[in-house]
């Protein structure tokens, strides 16, 4: 699968994206709202291997996608089916170095369009840390609405 926008290429990860993705996930500020700690030098290859394996969306497996600008991975999009009929959840993480340039909005909008038009999902959801105001704003920009506020962590 491959999605092209005006500035971005979105496609499954390839082995040469390892160091770009490590730069994203080795940043404590980037990982503060994620369900895992920042990557270390020791675990970067095993963590990245999971992204390489998630190269096709099925009911049993997630899809991990690289967001590329000039062949450099600046972001990571993830999609997986939930237990609800024709419903997927999306996740996204971007390098702090591209903050404020609109890449995340462009990539997530393109992914949402692809999921509705090509995959024919009925519903797309995103769960996020309530403290992550930037992510809340991104969800609103792409047309999502807040439906719940959980008072306890998913962890």
For residue 86, what are the contacts with CB-CB under 8 A and spacing of at least 6?
120, 121, 122, 123
Domains and CATH numbers, the chain: 3-141 (3.40.630.30)
Answer yes or no: pTM beyond 0.85: yes
Model pLDDT, residue 149:
59
Does residue 153 surpass a pLDDT of 60? no
Average pLDDT across the chain, whole number: 90
| Model pLDDT for residues 124-135, shown as the tens digit of each residue | 999 888 888 898
Q: Is 113 helix (H, G, I), strand (E, B) or coil?
A: helix
| Model pLDDT for residues 29-73, shown as the tens digit of each residue | 777 767 777 888 899 999 999 999 999 999 999 999 999 999 999
| Model pLDDT for residues 62-111, shown as the tens digit of each residue | 999 999 999 999 999 999 999 899 999 999 999 989 999 999 999 999 99
Longest dimension (CA), the chain: 41
């Amino acid at each position: 699968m491959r999605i092209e926008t005006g500035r971005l290429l979105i496609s499954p990860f390839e082995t040469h994206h390892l160091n770009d993705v490590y730069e994203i996930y080795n940043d404590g500020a980037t990982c503060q709202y994620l369900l895992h700690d920042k990557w270390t030098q020791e675990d970067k290859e095993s963590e990245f291997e999971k992204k390489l394996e998630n190269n096709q969306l099925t009911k049993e497996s997630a899809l991990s996608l690289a967001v590329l600008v000039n062949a450099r991975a600046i972001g990571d999009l993830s999609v997986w089916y939930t237990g609800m009929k024709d419903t997927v959840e999306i996740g996204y993480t971007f390098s702090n170095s591209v903050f404020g340039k609109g890449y995340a909005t462009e990539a997530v909008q393109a992914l949402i369009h692809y999921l509705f038009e090509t995959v024919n999902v009925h519903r797309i959801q995103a769960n996020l840390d309530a403290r992550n105001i930037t992510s809340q704003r991104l969800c609103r920009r792409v047309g999502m609405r807040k439906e719940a506020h959980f008072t306890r962590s998913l962890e």
